[in-house]
Chain A
Amino acid sequence: MKIKFLITVISAVVFSQLSGCQQTEEVIIYTSHDRNISEPILRQFERETGIHVRVVYDTEANKTTGLVNRLIAERKIPRADVFWNNEFIRTVHLQEFDVLSPSLPLNPVKNIFSSNSNVSFTGFAARARVFIINTNRVKDAVPKNLEDLTHKQWSEKVAFANPHFGTTGTHFSALLSVWGEEKFRYWITALKKNKAAMLPGNAQVRDQVVSGKYLIGLTDTDDVNSALLAKKKVQMIIPGQGSHGIGVFMIPNTVSLVKGSPNQKTGKRLFDFLLQANTERQLANSPSAQIPILHSVAIPSNVLDIKTLMIMETDPKEISAQYQKMLSIFTAIWNR
């Protein structure tokens, strides 16, 4: 009797959980963005439109690449409507796998890529690749350019993330594209000689600089901002500024519609919603402190202003094309 009662209760709860997901109008989104940042925005869309949003989030444990693999595996019969990526290179990869519908670039994306670049995705709110400095241990002479990381004074004091994953891979591919192979090889070799440390991810780079194990880290603005919010003794340095600099590398969020998706109409509504000024405002005000690039929105003091930055001129297609080459050059030098 007790067992029957238990089974009935469990079935009722499971059924109520499952049936709660059944609504007439819905949209399915896969996002590699951190859940605590993206969820409030998606819930707002749900409230404003009445369209039920069903989300699959990626995690740092998978280096936020799990969903890219899932989209590729599902490409014959797509299940997602929208893909919101927190960077752009894997969006370009997905386009090469013919997973995504071609999206029209919104003009302001040209602000962060070179004027002749062949952008085929829609980007918004960006992060920048910056230095995080431990201010307890580094008082004055801070590095100003990427080349400075190879100076002897920073021997065994620099950390960066594994370029096989995440934004470091995108950044290094961009450097290969801008500097050319010879200079890129030289820089990686010099970093290795200078005993720079390769850590698994940007968050670990931030944590190790905060702990003082390393003094300088190459990471993203959102990681530095989270350390600053936690009142850690760190400082953000924007590399490549000034007359001799190559500019700071920017990584916008990208949003794309999945080709042949089941809910194209609601997918387009969510796509348009994400590109509104409100999303950029929320992302700027979130702990990730992302930089608005599409709209002129009021930004908090801890967020960089795109108008004041000298930006590295790059072409996303070229960066994507250089990605595999960058990995083989890097692996060959680093594992030597």
Chain B
Amino acid sequence: MNILQNRQTIVLTSFLIILIVCLIPLFQLALSFDFSVINNVNTVNLSTLFFDSILIVGAASLIAMFIGGVLAYYLATVHIRFSIVLILLLLTNFFIPSYIHALSWSRLFMDESILNTIAIYTGMDIKGSTVIDGWFGTVWVLALSYFPIIFVAVYLSCLRWGQSMQNAALMFGSPSRARIIRLTFLRVPLLVSTLLVFLLIFSDFGVPDLFQIPMYSTEIFIQLSSYYNNSNALFISLPYIITSCIILWWIISLTKKISLSLSTADSNPSKVRVSGPVSFLVHTLLYGCIFIVIVLPLLNLIYLTQDFEMFFRAFELVKTDLLNSTLFAGFVSIVIVLFALYASYGYVRLKSHYKEGLRIIIFLMLVLPASLLALSLISFWNQEGMMGWFYQSEGIVVLGVSIRWLPIAFEILLIGWLFVNEKQENAALVFGVGWWSVVKNIHFPQMKPFILSVFILCFVLAFNELTMMVLLSPPGLSLLPGRIFSVIHYGPENLLAAICLIQVITILVIVSSIAWYNRHLIISTQRA
């Protein structure tokens, strides 16, 4: 019984830690908020900009939903050759930072690009084509950067649709009706992942900037950089924060449905074999789509690099930044995973009606503009003594980036905890099994896929983080994304392309190694 009481202490401690870590920046922002400087806010312009941004973000999310949903559906339900390779290629897009996507696509129509070279060879001239500029490029690149999230959600849900569910669906009528029932089953994960993508796209500042599209996030940034007015920036962030909270509430209610469908479904679905014109059509659609969304921009980067010598020159230039970025992202990911694991455990075991409020507080860390979050952390931590020592160390940037991406890790791990049976845990604790044994033998084996997924996701997000780095990184810490932006200004183009390729390859190698290790572990566990 004592041990069960200990669990209550752990739950409450996690609750307290979350509150302290997340409320510090919020309180700091609230304390520095000054109503008297709320000015110069042109409401008409802001509201227009807000709705324009909603339209662009909405369009990008819908395209991402379409690409991710259709590809996932076909790859999960139809027998396709080399499907594993195709899935890996599609997931690659998420590991490439959105600004590298933007750079690659904007350079696809340049004089030296692979597309233009092919066009000249075939007698066409696309020199100076500006088709990718503006809102079209913004929507397209944002959709391509974030569709893998929807792809994963739909693909995993399709895998949960087993033979027994197919048989049950067929009892309601023809195969086409069964397909409709399956689509209804996919509706919730499709909607949840699309809403998540919507939120991530809304806070993406780099892509609209590179494609010269004014967005709502730009206006928030202007308040900070042109007027040094944090209060105004926070004030005009409110519509975005409120919208995000409404979306979160929607996601919470939808994820409850997901957990129900996950717990009732079985696995090992059968794949449909197609032949003749249908097979040709499906294969053309898949391969064509994959070529356009990932192979073409990557090939263009390789083509722009021109030769191996440039690749090695770029590597020589960025090798320290690359090592720093890898170590930094690895360490931050471990911190986020541990913290989110602890926080989400506390959340699922807490018996309180007010715990949804805690979820909102954590979520605010994601929707607060990164600059505001960083400035509030500076105001709090930049003190004399121990706090000052922490502020001047790498710790502050680890804390900042961890807080920023904690909500995503927290939400994913919450779903993971649904698979851990509380009765197992209670039984072990009542029979006097120690906490470490419970974590090692009950929690960890069941949570491992979620932990690794969160680690990979946070690694990619931390590796590509830029705003927090400029505002919080201690002097002398040099990371790769900053280096890329310093090369964007003066080029040369082949060096820029080579550095982008190095970043893509590094992330892919690390992420693939972790995924391979995970698979290896699963296979050896099954054999045992």
On A, residues with C-beta under 8 Å from B are 10, 13-14, 17-18, 21, 28-30, 34-37, 54-63, 65-70, 72-74, 76-77, 79-80, 93, 97, 164-165, 169, 199-201, 203-204, 208, 211-213, 222, 226, 229-230, 287-288, 324, 327-328, 331, 335
State the majority secondary structure of interface residues on B. helix
A90 to chain B, nearest CB (A): 9
Chain B residues at the A interface, C-beta cutoff of 8 Å: 40, 42, 45, 99, 109-110, 127-128, 130, 133, 205-206, 209-210, 212, 218, 221-222, 224-228, 323-324, 327, 330-331, 371, 375, 378-379, 382-384, 388, 391-394, 466-467, 470-471, 473-476, 478, 481-483, 485-493
Contacting pair B475 A70 (CB below 8 A) = no
**Residue contact A66 to B467, C-beta cutoff 8 Å:** yes
Q: Is the CB of B225 within 8 A of A287?
A: no
B485–A61 contact, CB under 8 A?
yes
B327 touches A17 (CB 8 A): yes
Contact assessment for A67 and B470 in the assembled complex, using a CB-CB cutoff below 8 Å: yes
B486: A residues at CB distance < 8 A: 34-36, 57, 59-60
Asked whether, in the complex, the Cβ of B225 is within 8 Å of the Cβ of A61, the reply is no
| 7 pairs of residues in contact across A and B, judged by CB atoms under 8 Å | A56-B474, A61-B485, A66-B371, A68-B225, A69-B228, A230-B491, A335-B42
B493:A56 contact, CB within 8 angstroms:
no
Partner of B470, one of A56, A199, A200, A203: A56
Which of B212, B467, B474 gathers most chain A CB within 10 Å?
A: B212
- In the assembled complex, the CB of B499 is this many whole angstroms from the nearest CB of chain A, namely 11
Are A164 and B225 in touch, CB under 8 angstroms?
yes
Contact of A77 among B226, B375, B388 (CB under 8 A): B388
B residues in contact with A80, CB < 8 Å? 475
CA distance A226 to B485 in the complex (A): 15
Q: How far is the CA of A288 from the CA of B392 in the complex (A)?
A: 32
Residue pair B226, A36 in contact (C-beta under 8 Å)? no
Assuming the contacts A70-B470, A77-B382, asked whether A335 and B375 have C-beta atoms less than 8 A apart, the reply is no
Chain A residues contacting B331 (CB-CB under 8 Å) are: 10, 14
Give Cα A331 to B227, complex, Å: 13
Q: Which residues of A contact B476 (CB under 8 A)?
A: 21, 54-55
Across the interface, B327 reaches (CB within 8 A) one of A10, A56, A229, namely A10
Judge whether B209 and A56 touch: CB under 8 Å.
no
Q: State whether A28 touches B490 (Cβ < 8 A).
A: no
Contact B473 A56 (CB under 8 A): yes
Q: How far is the CB of B372 from chain A (nearest CB, A)?
A: 10
Question: Contact at A66–B471, with CB atoms within 8 Å?
Answer: yes
Given contacts A69-B225, A76-B382, A213-B130, contact A37 B375 (CB under 8 A): no
Bound CA span A204–B490, Å: 12
9 more CB-based (< 8 A) A-B contacts, given A18-B393, A164-B222: A10-B327, A18-B394, A36-B487, A59-B481, A61-B206, A97-B228, A164-B226, A200-B209, A328-B40
A-side contacts of B327, CB under 8 Å: 10, 13-14, 17
Docked-complex contact B375 and A73, CB < 8 angstroms: yes
Min Cβ gap A295→B in Å is 23
Closest residue of chain A to B112, judged by CB? A230
Contact A56 B475 (CB under 8 A): yes
A331 to B226, CA, bound (A): 13
Residue in contact with B490 in the complex, picked from A21, A37, A76, A324, CB distance below 8 Å: A37
Complex CA distance for A223 and B226, rounded to whole angstroms: 22
| Complexed CA–CA distance, A221 and B128 (Å) | 23
Chain B residues with CB below 8 A from A29, complex form = 475
On chain A, the residues within 8 Å of B478 by CB distance are 55, 57
Min C-beta distance of A325 to chain B, whole Å: 11
Contact A212 B128 (CB under 8 A): yes
Q: By the criterion CB–CB under 8 Å, are B482 and A57 in contact?
A: yes
Q: A14-B331, A37-B490 are in contact. Are A200 and B225 (CB under 8 A)?
A: no
Inter-chain contacts of B206 with A (CB < 8 A): 61
A292 to chain B minimum Cβ distance, whole angstroms, is 19
Given known A-B contacts A61-B209, A77-B382, A77-B388, A226 and B490 have beta carbons under 8 A apart:
yes
**C-alpha spacing A276/B255, complex, angstroms:** 63
Q: Quote the shortest CB–CB distance from A31 to chain B (angstroms).
A: 10
Pairs of residues from A and B, 8 with the lowest C-beta to C-beta distance, nearest first: A54-B475, A65-B225, A54-B476, A35-B486, A212-B128, A59-B485, A66-B470, A73-B378
Q: Is there contact, CB below 8 Å, between B488 and A10?
A: no
Is the beta-carbon distance between A61 and B382 smaller than 8 angstroms?
Answer: no
Cβ-neighbour of B225 out of A10, A55, A62, A328 (below 8 A): A62
Which of A13, A73, A79, A97 touches B379 (beta carbons < 8 Å)?
A: A73
By the criterion CB–CB under 8 Å, are A230 and B492 in contact?
yes
Per the bound structure, the CA–CA distance linking A41 and B388 in Å amounts to 30
Enumerate chain A residues within 8 angstroms of B228, measured Cβ to Cβ: 68-69, 72, 93, 97
Cβ of B379 and Cβ of A61 under 8 Å apart?
no
**How long is the Cα–Cα vector from A61 to B206 in the complex, in angstroms?**
7
Q: Given the interface contacts A14-B327, A77-B383, A165-B226, does A211 sit within 8 Å of B490 by beta carbon?
A: no
Verify A226–B491 contact, CB threshold 8 A.
yes
Give the CA-CA distance A164 to B220 in the complex, in Å. Answer: 12
Cβ-neighbour of A203 out of B324, B466, B488 (below 8 A): B488
Q: In the complex where A69-B224, A70-B470 touch, is A287 in contact with B392 (Cβ < 8 A)?
A: no
Residue of B nearest to A166 (CB): B225
> Which residues of the partner chain B approach A37 to less than 8 Å between Cβ atoms?
490
CB-defined contacts of B324 to chain A, threshold 8 Å: 17
B405 to chain A, nearest CB (A): 18
Cα distance, A56 to B492, chains bound together (Å): 23
Q: Which residues of A contact B218 (CB under 8 A)?
A: 200
How many angstroms between the C-alpha atoms of A242 and B487 in the bound complex? 36
Interchain CB contact under 8 A, A70 and B225: no
Does the CB pair B493–A60 fall under 8 Å? no
- CB contacts (< 8 Å) of B109 on chain A: these are 211
Query: With A93-B228, A200-B212 in contact, do A226 and B378 touch (Cβ < 8 Å)?
Result: no
Whether the pair B384, A77 counts as a contact (CB closer than 8 A) is: yes
- B130 with A335: CB separation less than 8 A: no
Chain B nearest CB: distance from A315 CB in Å? 21
- Residue numbers in B under 8 Å from A199 (CB-CB): 212
Task: Tell me, rounded to whole Å, the shortest Cβ–Cβ distance linking A10 to chain B.
Answer: 7
Cβ–Cβ < 8 Å partners of A328 in chain B: 40
Contacts of A28 in B (CB 8 A): 475
Taking the closest CB of chain A, its distance from the CB of B233, in whole angstroms, is 10
Which residue on B lies nearest to A67, using beta carbons?
A: B470
Q: Hey, which chain B residues are within 8 Å of A208, CB to CB?
A: 133
Which of A54, A97, A165, A203 makes the CB contact (< 8 A) with B489? A203
